[in-house]
Amino acid sequence: MNKIYSLVWNAAQSRWVIASELSSKQKKGGMRKTMLKGLAALLLTSAASSAFAGTCIQQDALGTGSVKGTGASEVTTCDAFSIAIGAGSGATSSSYSVAIGDAAHATGENAVALGRQTTASADETTATGVASSATQDGASSYGYFSQATGIKSTALGYNSNASQTNALALGNGANSSFANSIALGAGSVTTIGAESSYSAYRLSGSQASIGELGIGNSNGDRKITGLAAGTKNNDAVNVAQLKAVGDQVDQNTSDLVVMDGRVSNVEQVVNNLNAGGGVKYFHSNSTGSDSVATGQNAVAVGANAQAAGNNAIAMGNDASAQADGSVAVGAGASDNGRGAESYTGKYSDVANNTSGTVSVGNAATGETRSISNVADGMQDTDAVNVRQLDGAVAESKKYTDTSIANLSSSIGSVGGQMTETIQNVTNLQNGTDGMFQVNNTAQAAKPKPTGANSMAAGAGTSAAGKNATALGNGAMANHSNSVALGNGSMTDRDNSVSVGSAGNERQVTNVAAGTRETDAVNMGQLNNSMANSTSNANSYTDNRFNELSGDLDKQKKVLSAGIAGAMAMASLPQPYEPGANMMALGGASFHGESALSLGASHLSDNGRWVTKAQINTNTQRNVGWGVGVGFQF
């Protein structure tokens, strides 16, 4: 016996098996058909491990799903549903493993080793390519001598190496040696990995990262091309964005050159204003931080008011107008980043072109007033990134400090300019020049912001409520968190906005359609809502009336059928001779409904007692019955 085996069909087990050449088998279909069936069975055995159960291999026996080598080394498979093909290959120790190739070894559960001298030694691992190995759970290696030795790591490429948890090495000779890091490109390496606390350029806070992306090595770096402009804090920035910042710094530098001696004069006047000198007919009663207007042509009025958008207006304690063209009026009011917008309304498909947002509340904090956030809603438009502004401002400030120091030697030549500047500031204080002017020919009383953190602007205005704002001649905001806008406007409750007074009301026009619960509703929305409500009410009433009519008609038929049944039972005769019995059948009809009755009656032998029982059915499929006993005397 030369230990040569062949594939035969086992009818009792309904599968192909490997047996000795001396085993008997069916002689059907000829040698060609037998060879084709054997080849198909071998392919099925190697490609579908779930179809056969592997067994441990002894020296003279082969398990189902294994192919024995013909050289010095033989295949070894030692668990259920495993496959091993190739001299010296092995699928041992666990279930569902596959090893194909000379000296390939798949020793983990669900492991796959494909290629000469490949090793997949942990659960759910894959090793593909000559001498590749995947040695930790979930690891995958692809390519000649690729190594994936970290948990769930991946090495893809010739001689690539991923040695830490979740590491990825992609490219010829790429080496990812830190957890959650990526080595991308031929020869690329990772050098630092994740960092829990480090300092970044021009950022004061501590930074943290979960991993590293390496695209080069100590011999050279790579460029990243085709990069879109970043919009969020953690986006990459391209060269075009950096050039824009540089151009702005150059413009600031040019503006600073012409400032000369006017800086010192303006500084003295500004100090007087900061000390509480104020501007005629424009005062604020607050100990909070100064207002800041950083946008072009922006206006900020009130303690800690912030106007960062171009042409933005922030009026009131802690008011914030961050977007271009926006207006925030009242203590704590914010435009929430919404400014001028052109868009198609969400869900309405209506074109909207707004010139800005007027807000008298703050949707982010839940602080609302009667009118707020009236523009149609959509995704926020990005403003200038604060981090980018900080860098540009820092560069400008650095140059400004140097320029001011160099200007000290030329102060004596600007005496005439000093007089002009002082006069300009005096005009600003009197309200006769600048971007905020008043006409007080009637010599009306000055505004009185007597409430805590209140603001009053205009002749004879009064802001007596806490955090109140009064704007306009004779305007009165005497309630907490209230706003009075316009000549003679008066508030009558806390947390309200008034644009008139009792008997002197004003319309609020050009109101965009509201989209949020606290937005104002314009007349178009109100008319549409009323039309829809009326239509829905009419439809509901019609439906209910039709249902009631149907119920009444049905009830009428049931009653008519019942009356017909009563008439049918009343029509039944009864015996008249003593001791007699009678079976009777009766019928009746009433208002289109019919009934049929059946009855039995008996007259006693003495003719005194009468007993009867009867049943009826009608066209409404209802059944009725009745019994009776009578005594005649």
Q: What is the pTM (predicted TM-score) of this model?
A: 0.36
Q: Give CA separation, 437 vs 153, 166, 168, in Å.
A: 69, 66, 66
Q: Which range, of 140-154, 306-320, 372-386, 584-598, averages the lowest pLDDT?
A: 372-386
Pick the CATH number of 278-384+438-529 from 2.150.10, 1.10.3470, 2.60.40, 3.20.20: 2.150.10
Higher pLDDT residue, 186 or 291? 186
Q: Which CATH architecture has domain 5-192?
A: 2 Solenoid (2.150)
Query: Domain spanning 560-631 has what CATH number?
Result: 3.30.1300.30
Residue 376 binned pLDDT confidence (cut-offs 50, 70, 90): very low
Q: What is the pLDDT of residues 23-37, one digit of tens each?
A: 455 444 444 444 344
Largest CA distance in the chain: 151
Question: Which is more confidently placed, 305 or 256?
Answer: 305
Please tell me the distance from the alpha carbon of residue 324 to that of residue 311, in angstroms, as a whole number. Answer: 6
Query: In this structure, how many other beta carbons lie within 10 angstroms of the beta carbon of residue 72?
Result: 7
Which run of H or of E encompasses 590?
strand 581-590
CB 601 within 8 A of CB 607: no
Burial of 621 (C-beta count, 10 Å sphere; 0-12/13-18/19+): exposed
Predicted confidence (pLDDT) at residue 73 exceeds the cutoff of 60: no
Say if 278-384+438-529 and 560-631 have the same CATH topology: no
Residues near 441 by beta carbon (within 8 Å), at least 6 away in sequence: none
Under DSSP, is residue 629 helix (H, G, I), strand (E, B) or coil? strand
pLDDT at 410: 59
Structure confidence at residue 187 as a pLDDT band (50, 70, 90): very high
Tokens of residue 278, six digits: 């104020």
For 367, 483, 572, the CA distances from 494, given in Å and listed in that order, are 13, 9, 84
pLDDT, tens digit (0-9, with 9 covering 90-100), for 593-614? 998 999 898 999 898 899 999 9
3-class SS letters over 130-156:
CCCEECCCCCEEECCCCEECCCCCEEE
Q: Where are the domains of the chain?
A: 5-192, 278-384+438-529, 560-631
CA distance 531 to 379: 30
Tokens of 547: 């249902």
Structure token pair of residue 554: 């049905």
**pLDDT (0 to 100) of residue 491:** 94
Alpha-carbon distance 209 to 193, whole Å?
8
